Structure 1
Amino acid sequence: MADPSSYRPKPGQIPDSPGVYKFRDQHGRVIYVGKAKSLRQRLSSYFQDLANLHQRTRTMVTTAASVEWTVVTTEVEALQLEYSWIKEFDPRFNVKYRDDKSYPSLAVTMNEEFPRVQVMRGPKRKGVRYFGPYAHAWAIRETVDLLLRVFPVRTCSAGVFKRSAQIGRPCLLGYIGKCSAPCVGRVSAEEHRELAEEFCDFMAGRTGTYLRRLEQQMRDAAAAMEYEKAARLRDDIEALKRAMEKNAVVLADATDADLIAVAEDELEAAVQIFHVRDGRVRGQRGWVTDRVEEVGTAELVEHALQQLYGEERGEGVPKEVLVPALPDPCEPVQQWLTERRGSQVSLRIPQRGDKKDLMATVQRNAQQALVLHKTRRASDLTTRSRALEEIAEALDLDSAPLRIECFDISHLQGDDVVASMVVFEDGLARKSEYRRFQIKSFAGQDDVRSMHEVVSRRFRRYLLEKQKTGEWVDGDGDGDGHGEGGGPGSGGEVAGGPIDPDTGRPRRFAYPPQLVVVDGGQPQVAAAQRALQELGVEDVAVCGLAKRLEEVWLPGEDDPVILPRTSEGLYLLQRVRDEAHRFAIAYQRNKRSKSMRAGALDSVPGLGESRRQALLKHFGSLKRLRAATVEQICEVPGVGRRTAEAVLAALAGAAPAGPAVNTATGEIIEEEGTAGPVTVPTERGNSS
């Protein structure tokens, strides 16, 4: 625990001007970002008697080891820079809203040659039009099903679209009139894009003009005695009206507004947003957050506006934003929203009428969401805190291990030896920071040597970065790519420092855990401890969890620590160990699968690993590659006619009637079309 007075700036150093400030911990990790109209007044408020600070603010300033700031010209610039830094560094102590559930949106991929309508979740992509979010995916599908009668835009995946184009026949939707079938040339790319734009216009609320046009076309068709056309247009109009009825009219026509309500208590806050377009509620979403710092409703609203509109441009920001409390000051936030929309945005508190009544409804939803969230999470928070405390007590640690890293070794009878590292922070998995290792030395089934190598590699990189000038700079990785969850790119098993020079994104991996857990018993624990001692790392605790009796082993101890079977600490260690084992097995399987699929092509002279993988990716399986002609194989980039002939000759002698066999392991490879049972040798991770 640091003393804030040890890094407090000297009197007169802090400027009395607008700016943004960052608190960093002892490892250089940004833990809090804030903005201020006056940096001097705001930062001075942190360096006072700790007893006067909010509990979580006190935790933040004692965790920090330094503070720095950047002066800007206006408060709008401070707002923009604060948002950019929060997105870049993901500070632990900032207010971070998280969805209480995943809300789907209706997306139209206008960035493709033939736009596609689909249900989409997750972050927004450039060039895609979004509508919603909606409470349920089935609500989107019902709406789309009604609209496809009038706007037959494609909804199929890229694979189905490509397949239909190859065989010259549309899918079922093309036959029943719910797709214009651009895959077989029934409409041109321009005509299909026009359909997609009309679909987007209708979803954006411009419905009146289109309905009047269809009604006029229906009357003209009836006057011309084209009764079948008139009946079809009548049915189209009814389908559009049914789709419109699914969204309740709550405000006057042409009203575009977002209503934001906040329900809060001392520890958490819930935010609910209603998206009203053309007077109808088009979508709803909710967030919850921990109140890490002592902030009021106005500050919570400001953070919600940043997260809601930080990535939005143009029509994504409505003309009117209704909130329960205005940020202080309000003008910079309103100007920021106006710049993002490109036209004036009204940010205000509803005072009377329908908008105030609807705000009360949103507020009730926020209050209910907070109650539901606390009911679901109360026991979970208590359990995780108790588990960390029990681990600290059992292992005689100075404090609870807020960051735990677990290592596991996996191989198949000594071949394809790999390792995994999983990360748990505050008792929760951080999949974006998982890492995978390929064991470089020939360790075979020697799990102890493998464990020593993996721990050494992880902490050697940490120390190399730490020895530099205090800035965490990325280095060349020596691992095998990133882990689950889209973590930092191919920087090996250890990402560099907070900033990746290639992407400009932060690396959150260059700081040590409080506890290293290894999957195994005394030998594995001794190997991990020896690796840390050789590197001079003394402030990281090590333990091992043996599968046989679920014993916790400590370095240098002849007897294990036995935690009660009902212990929450033991349960957390088991979850960490099992997750590391699962991640290692998944990597080992994937690695082995790639090597086996290309095994039949190993004997082809001049065919390297890259071209083997290119062939398998192009054809999908050895069966299809075996049935291909020389000309078809030559279509693969980098493969000439002589190589193609050698490939066919090698496959012709590979006994296509039976299953392929990996000669290294004796494992039978199940190719496409192979029938019957497949025998696979036992795969395993490290066991004790």
Structure 2
Amino acid sequence: MDKIKEILENLPDSPGVYLMKDKSGKIIYVGKAKILKNRVRQYFQSTEDKDPKTRTLVSRIHNIETIVTSTESEALILENTLIKLHKPRYNILLKDDKTYPYIRITTQDLYPKIELTRTIKQDGSRYFGAYTKVSDARKSIEVLRKIFPLRTCKRKIVEADNQRPCLFYHIKLCSAPCAGFISPEDYNEIVKDACRFLEGKQDEVLNRLQEKMQEYSSNMEFEKAASVRDKLISVKNISEKQIVLSTKMEDRDLCALIADEINSLVIVLFVRGGKLMGKNVNIMEKTYDMPEEEVMETFLTQFYGNGREIPPEILLTHKPADVEILEQWMKSLRSKSVRLHKPVRGEKKSQLDLAIKNAEEEFLKYKLNVVYKRENIENALDKLQKVLGLSQSPQRIEAYDISNTGSQGMVSGMVVFEEGQKKPSHYRKFSIKNVDEQNDYACMQEVLYRRLRRLSSDTEDESFKEIPDLILVDGGIGHVHAVEEVLKEVDLNLPIMGMVKNDKHQTERLVNDEHNIELKKEMELLSLIAAIQEEVHRYSISFHRQKRRKSQRKSVLDEIEGIGPKKKKALLKEFGSVKRIREATEEELCMVKGISAKLAKEIKQVLN
């Protein structure tokens, strides 16, 4: 704490960003402040009055770094950039990334394509959505292509290309720019109409199509005029089905925030051309006592700082304190002015009330489906802390399992659960390198040594640089003792438990020298531990099967006449590797089903 006191005494009086780090040097929180000194010191004043999340954060702070900026606006931009880069554990992060589908039109290409995506990138493309269902987004693309024949392929197309057109051209779902059947100028007119349509500006599209139809009719091009007429009818039919919120043809987003004692939800309704085009639901967990205006500001910076389309006006249920700074920041992103507004009466208030009603319904669904599950997980982690006598709830649990067929293709899998949830991006695979025979204990020691020694090195691996709060191994007390030897060797003191299964291969107990926990008596723990054991087993055996298939596909045995897939599989299953087949005698080879004395002699000659 002496180091923290010294940092607090020397904090600047300027605006800027502060980065809080844990004992491993990892950034666990990023914040901005109008006056850094005042804001950072607040965390360490009357900590017993803080919410549980803040108390846990403060207990883990070992260092604080500050970055001074010239203005609050610069601090806002920098904070958003650092949060997206580091994804700190204790920052409020939106839960909707990669969840909702969007329609992307790659307008940066010579011949743009239309496609479905779940990620938004600042790559020059236009994004439309979000759609609550993938099926809705796919249907929109399907309908859109019937009216505006855009390509969906991944072909690289240059001007005046002469490739063979695909089936979509022949069924009138693509203009075939790959075959040079349309110029970039004409194709981009189609792209512009498609974008206007997705923006909700159907009237503009209708007017353009009407003019085009009249032009073709005047020029006696009746076939083309009929084609445009069909498009006109399709656009009119779709327009009639959309909900009209305003007759003034405005573009705006409606942002409604709902919160309880722990979590918050923000729903966004997208209004384009006065019509409701879609919605996006965003969960912000563990906001606790955070002021709702501050929650809204956090949401706006993360949501619109991710490359999404920003309309000229955004209506809010809660107006952030730094609204002018936010408007300046959005203006820099949009290149046009943006107004953030909290209406109190009139048509705009009615629109926002609709967003609030939607938010209330979505929050109720979230509570019923997610919060109950979350509470069970938190109870399980607290129980785990209590029964194992840990100093804190195990936020990061690493589990290990060995998978092999005899001594063939021995591998291990490491899975990670953070706050009781799977974290697949931190899963890792290990091929056993230094164990030549089936020995689970030795394999487990090799894997844990290779993993834990990375803690002391300057590794850039995001998973290996993390210190586990608890290690679980698939096995009994022997596996636990094997890992404890490794912990002594690398000079680490980490809790380790073995996950024991019963005769029916069901998770039964957690064991080490101090504890023998029968999970049937601890039902809060059973589902969590069973899920972890099942996941690490699945991950390890999948890697083992993948490696075995690969070894079976490519082998020097394939070059031997008389050795087919079945005999190769039998040989590898018996001996484990080509090296051991080479070392075997002809008599030993003949013991394998299907291997005759003549074939055994041929194998020895080829391999030697």
TM bucket normalised to smaller: 0.7 to 0.9
State the match for 1:583 in structure 2: 539
In the TM superposition, residue 114 of structure 1 has moved relative to its aligned partner by 4.8
5+ long unaligned stretches in structure 1: 466-472, 476-494, 496-506, 604-649, 668-678, 680-688
SS of equivalent residue, structure 2 residue 384: helix
Partner of residue 306, structure 2: 311
Q: In the superposition, relative to structure 1, how do residues 111 and 419 fare at CA in structure 2: closer, same or farther (>3 Å)?
A: farther
Mapped to 2, the partners of 1:386 and 1:142 lie a distance apart of: 42
Matched, 1:511 2:470: no
What corresponds to 2:375 in structure 1? 382
Given candidates 452, 472, 484, the residue that maps to 1:459 is 452
Residue 73 of structure 2 contacts residue 326 of structure 2 at CA under 8 Å; is this kept in 1? yes
Please state whether the residue corresponding to 1:8 is helix, strand or coil.
Answer: helix
Give the secondary-structure state (helix, strand or coil) at the position aligned to 1:56.
helix
Partner SS, residue 517 of structure 2? coil
Contact 1:100–1:288 (CA under 8 A) maintained in structure 2: no
In structure 1, C-alpha distance between the alignment counterparts of 2:7 and 2:123, rounded to whole Å:
46
Which residue in the other structure is 2:61 paired with?
64
Aligned with residue 480 of structure 2, among 518, 525, 542: 525
Structure 2 CA distance, aligned partners of 1:10 and 1:216? 69
Greater CA deviation, 103-112 or 39-48?
103-112
Q: Is the 8 A contact 2:148 2:190 kept in 1?
A: yes
Q: Which amino acid aligns with 1:14?
A: L
Q: Call closer, same or farther: CA 1:230–1:168 in 2, change over 3 Å.
A: closer
Deviates more, 1:433-442 or 1:286-295: 286-295
Matched, 1:36 2:29: no
Mind listing any 5+ residue stretches in structure 2 that lack a counterpart?
575-592, 594-608
Q: Which segment drifts farther, 427-436 or 236-245?
A: 236-245
Q: Which amino acid aligns with 1:61?
A: V
Structure with bigger helix share is 2
Residue of structure 2 in register with 1:126 after alignment: 123
Deviating more after overlay: 106-115 vs 63-72 = 106-115
Q: CA deviation at 1:265?
A: 1.4
SS in 2 for 1:362: helix
Q: CA deviation at 1:338?
A: 0.9
What displacement does 1:198 show? 3.7
- Looking at structure 2, the residues matched to 224 and 182 of structure 1 have their Cα atoms a distance apart, in angstroms, of 25
Question: Does residue 1:344 correspond to 2:299, yes or no?
Answer: no
C-alpha displacement at 1:455, in angstroms?
0.7
Residue aligning to 2:511:
554
Assess, with a 3 A threshold, how the Cα gap between structure 1 residues 226 and 32 changes in structure 2: closer, same or farther.
closer
Conservation of the 8 A alpha-carbon contact between 2:17 and 2:67:
yes
Q: Normalized against structure 1, the TM-score is what?
A: 0.76
User: Does structure 1 residue 234 correspond to structure 2 residue 189?
Assistant: no
Partner SS, residue 103 of structure 2: strand
Aligned to 1:606: none
Deviation at 1:180, TM superposition (A): 2.4
Within a 5 Å distance, the mapping from 1:211-250 to structure 2 comes to 211-223=206-218, 226-250=221-245
Give the whole-Å Cα distance in 2 for the aligned partners of 1:98 and 1:61. Answer: 24
C-alpha distance in 2 between matches for 1:277 and 1:425: 40
Q: Report the counterpart of residue 175 of structure 1 in structure 2.
A: 170
- Inter-partner Cα distance in structure 2 for 1:83 and 1:264: 22
* Change beyond 3 A, Cα 1:666–1:145: same
Measure how far apart 1:287 and its partner are. Answer: 0.8
Pick closer, same or farther for the CA change 1:166–1:222 going to 2, 3 Å: closer
Give yes or no for contact 1:94–1:292 (8 Å, CA) kept in 2. Answer: no
**Any idea what SS the aligned residue of 2:148 has?**
coil
Assess if the C-alpha contact under 8 Å between 1:418 and 1:584 holds in 2.
yes
Partner residue of 1:270 out of 255, 265, 273: 265
Relative contact order higher in (CA < 8 Å, ≥ 6 apart): 1
Alpha-carbon distance in 2 for matches of 1:34, 1:169 = 53
Question: What is the distance in 1 between the residues matched to 2:554 and 2:183?
Answer: 41
3-state SS of the aligned residue for 1:130?
strand
**Secondary structure, counterpart of 1:7 in structure 2:** helix
Partner residue in 2 for 1:280: 275
Displacement of 1:294 in angstroms is 2.9
Question: Which of the residues 133, 138, 143 maps onto 2:140?
Answer: 143
- Summarize deviations over 1:501-523 as a string: whole Å, max 9, x none: xxxxxx35423112110011122
Q: How does 1:357-376 map to 2 (within 5 A)?
A: 357-376=350-369
Distance 2:512 2:215 in 1: 88
Aligned CA-pair RMSD: 3.1
Distance 2:325 2:233 in 1: 46
Q: Deviations over 1:85-106 (max 9, x none)?
A: 2112212221222129932111
CA distance in 2 between counterparts of 1:594 and 1:191 reads 49
Q: Distance in 1 between matches of 2:155 and 2:569?
A: 33
What displacement does 1:565 show? 6.0
Cα deviation code 1:352-387 (max 9, x no counterpart)? 322211111111111222222112233212211221
- Across the two proteins, how many residue pairs are aligned to each other? 569
Q: Aligned-pair distance for 1:660?
A: 8.5
Q: What's the CA shift string for 1:564-598, capped at 9, x where partnerless?
A: 26612122112111111111122222222233323
Q: 1:100/1:286 Cα in 2 relative to 1: closer, same or farther (>3 Å)?
A: farther
SS, match of residue 511 in structure 1 = coil
Return the offset for 1:664.
Answer: 5.0
What SS is found at the alignment partner of 1:48? Answer: coil
Read off the aligned partner of 1:541 and give its amino acid letter.
P
The reply on whether 1:432 has 2:429 as its aligned counterpart is no
Equivalent residues in 2 for 1:400-415 (5 A)? 400-415=393-408
Q: Secondary structure at the match of 2:297?
A: helix
Q: Distance in 1 between matches of 2:145 and 2:552?
A: 45
